[in-house]
């Protein structure tokens, strides 16, 4: 039996693992399907103090750091958590394995919110993408749309502008009020980025007789545009579907630490009422790790 199982290998989970492993608690990190979560998709990480490099490089550094102190990292995903504080917890994974621990830290992060319009599901992976750094290469020299108006959308547009011929940002509001000023300035300075405000997408369809997989996207004002790809950046929802229904969540699936059962803790983007930033994820990872350490110490 482990002392602590941490679900998630993003900055929150790996920070928690660093603290718990350094406190000589037997620590297992179940890292999901890839190291780093959303952080791994950041090509250039500029707003995490003391770091110059990609998000994946930061996650790799964090993994090595917590492993140095004895943490074990396995890349599987939790499907279910059973048990309780009195008898211990059992985490069942997607590979059929089960792991037990006296405490669990949920740091499973968030996933991009899916676009729910005609054609969005049909063309997912065939012109519709939720990861610019994953799929941008396939659109070199082509025309793409980025849907959204926050930091993620503008970062995606700037990344794609280095690859695509033209990037059109479609946003339902009149300005990028939620995005950082530095990103707005960079977008405005790029000649191949066009901003389409006060509109949204209502339909995605294949362009008839196209041999290159082009799409026709229809906006709320009835305009049809021919594009090669659509990148969606309209927010995130917490990855908490594997938890039992009796664990309280907010509208985005996030968890309030005060509402968690004894022996279970929360860190990172699944934590309710925090900004979704690496710095805040690390802070909540530290808190969850220290709280879990104190909890285990009381049991001894």
- Of 25-34, 216-225, 268-277, least confident by mean pLDDT is 268-277
Domains parsed from the chain with CATH numbers: 2-111+236-299 (3.50.50.60), 128-232 (3.50.50.60)
Residues 167, 168, 174, 175, Cα dihedral to 10°:
-10
Q: Cβ neighbours of residue 58 under 8 Å, at least 6 residues apart?
A: 11, 36, 39, 45, 48, 51, 278
The Cα–Cα gap between 158 and 237 comes to 23
Tell me what the mean pLDDT of segment 51-55 comes to: 93
Positions marked active-site: 131, 134-135
Of the candidates 8, 12, 14, 20, which has an alpha carbon nearest to the alpha carbon of residue 103? Answer: 20
SS3 state of residue 136: helix
Q: Is the pLDDT of residue 300 over 80?
A: no
Sign of CA dihedral 48, 53, 56, 59: negative
SS3 state of residue 293: helix
- Of residues 23 and 274, the one with the higher pLDDT is 23
The Cα–Cα gap between 295 and 23 comes to 12
User: CA neighbours within 13 Å on the CB side: how many for 216?
Assistant: 10
Indicate the pTM of the whole model: 0.84
Percent residues over pLDDT 70 in the chain: 100
Let me know: does 227 contact 217? Beta carbons within 8 Å.
yes
Q: Is 188 exposed, middle or buried (0-12, 13-18, 19+ CB in 10 A)?
A: exposed
């Amino acid at each position: 039996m482990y002392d602590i199982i941490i679900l998630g290998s993003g900055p929150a989970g790996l920070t928690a693992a660093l603290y718990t492993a350094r406190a000589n608690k037997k620590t297992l990190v179940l890292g999901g399907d890839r190291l780093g979560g959303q952080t791994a998709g950041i090509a250039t990480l500029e707003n995490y103090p003391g770091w110059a490099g990609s998000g994946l490089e930061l996650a790799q550094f964090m993994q090595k750091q917590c492993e140095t102190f004895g943490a074990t990292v396995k890349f599987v995903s939790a499907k279910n958590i059973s048990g309780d504080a009195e008898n211990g917890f059992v985490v069942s994974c997607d590979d059929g394995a089960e792991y037990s621990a006296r405490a669990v830290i949920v740091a499973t992060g968030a996933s991009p919110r899916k676009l729910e319009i005609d054609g969005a599901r049909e063309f997912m992976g065939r012109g519709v993408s939720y990861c610019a750094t994953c799929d941008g290469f396939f659109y070199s020299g082509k025309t793409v749309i980025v849907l959204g108006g926050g930091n993620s959308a503008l970062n995606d547009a700037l990344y794609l502008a280095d690859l695509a011929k033209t990037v059109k940002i479609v946003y339902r509001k009149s300005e990028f009020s939620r995005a950082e000023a530095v990103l707005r300035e960079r977008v405005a300075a790029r000649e191949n980025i066009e901003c389409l405000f006060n509109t949204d997408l209502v339909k995605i369809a294949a362009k008839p007789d196209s041999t290159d997989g082009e799409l026709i996207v229809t906006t709320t004002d009835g305009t049809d545009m021919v594009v090669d790809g659509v990148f969606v950046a309209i927010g995130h929802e917490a990855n908490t579907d594997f938890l039992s229904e009796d664990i309280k969540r907010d509208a985005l699936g996030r968890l309030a630490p005060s509402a968690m059962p004894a022996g279970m803790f929360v860190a990172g983007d699944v934590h309710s009422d925090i900004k979704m930033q690496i710095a805040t994820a690390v802070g909540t990872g530290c808190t969850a790790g220290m709280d879990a350490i104190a909890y285990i110490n009381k049991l001894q």
